[in-house]
Amino acid sequence: MFRRYFLALIVAAASILAPLSAATSFAQGPMGGESGFATFSGDEDGEFSVPPEWPSGDLVPFTQSNNPPNAQTDNRDQGGGADQTSGAGRQPRFSVNPITGMVASREATYVPLTGEERWKLYWRMNYFSMGAYFGPFFSALVLDQATGSPEQWGGGFAGYGRRVASRTGTAILQGTFQAPVAYLLHEDVRYVASRRPGFKHRVGHAALYSVLTYTNSGRPTLNVANLGSYYAATAVSTVWLPGHYKVLEYALKNSTEQIGLTVPINMLQEFWPEIVRRVHHGGNEGP
């Protein structure tokens, strides 16, 4: 028991201290306000507000700034729908997918994130969007409730509620670890949709980008920050899970299962524009 908690605390300290040390750069420089630290505002006037209802496919948008003057912008909404612009600048706005919890970019029109955008995306993707909470409900159902793990929490709604709370905490840890590490490694935290048509190619692309992402230069790279954050956050979660766990064994097994789940989730994100168009088209058809 003591060895388990001691190892978990070591992993917890490493997974917290690493992002905190990285956050010195993540929260300063290009993202910093007048005080030198990042400021969080959802609107151009400096105020953040959460809309009373979350419209499908357009959740908490914010304006992309500091694009290169001649940068080509995406012709689709970053959440998967139609492009939304802010007026004279014709700058794209991001949105968090309500099902996948992702923000998407496209290969053909890739523009890297600024530091300020990374900071705002962290809050949107982990706290202030419906998609941030849909994922834990899904993973708790598929990975935990269906298998009765951990068994000490029992079944029914009470057990499911505990598992959802645990997965939500783990997801926030995962995002908190990923964001500053991705910033230091120049890795994108968005899903990069395929530029090529064809169902088979796009399915393969979605599977491949469960472990890959883009660098700031627009080149594919191993998604170290995302993959590592799954293992670190899962190891820390053993601190509050009941029962006895071999931390490294549990982190390896459970995190690999979570990464496996990103494949169908990426596929949903890849084909989200078509799904949205079909739903909207079906809803507009007459009797």
Residue of 176, 209, 174, 215 lying closest to 194 (CA atoms): 209
Rounded to the nearest 5°, which phi and psi values hold at 74? -70, 145
E strands within the chain? 62-63, 93-94, 104-106, 191-193, 212-214, 220-222
94: pLDDT confidence band, cut at 50, 70 and 90? confident
Residue of 77, 118, 83 lying closest to 96 (CA atoms): 77
What is the pLDDT, as a whole number, of residue 243? 84
CA pair distance 226, 258, nearest whole angstrom:
11
Residues whose CB falls within 8 Å of the CB of residue 6, separated by 6 or more in sequence, listed in order: none
93: pLDDT confidence band, cut at 50, 70 and 90? low
Its pTM stands at 0.69
What is the pLDDT, as a whole number, of residue 281? 76
Segment 186-231, tens digit of pLDDT: 999 999 999 999 999 999 999 999 999 999 999 999 999 999 999 9
pLDDT for 242 beyond 60:
yes
What is the rounded average pLDDT for all residues in the chain? Answer: 76
What is the pLDDT, as a whole number, of residue 68? 42
Q: Let me know how long the chain is.
A: 287
pLDDT for 73 beyond 60:
no
Name which residue leads in pLDDT, 56 or 260: 260
Q: Which residues of 40-52 are buried (b: 16+ CB within 10 A; e: fewer)?
A: eebeeeeeeeeee
178: pLDDT confidence band, cut at 50, 70 and 90? very high
Cis bond before residue 180 (omega within 30° of 0): no
pLDDT for 51 beyond 70:
no
What is the pLDDT, as a whole number, of residue 145? 94
Locate 57 and state its tokens.
Answer: 């496919």
Name the strand (E) or helix (H) holding 207. helix 199-208
Segment 6-21, tens digit of pLDDT: 444 444 444 444 444 4
Locate 201 and state its tokens.
Answer: 């190619």
Residue of 162, 161, 163 lying closest to 140 (CA atoms): 163
What mean pLDDT comes out for the span 151-170?
95
* Residue position matching structure tokens 């799904």: 275
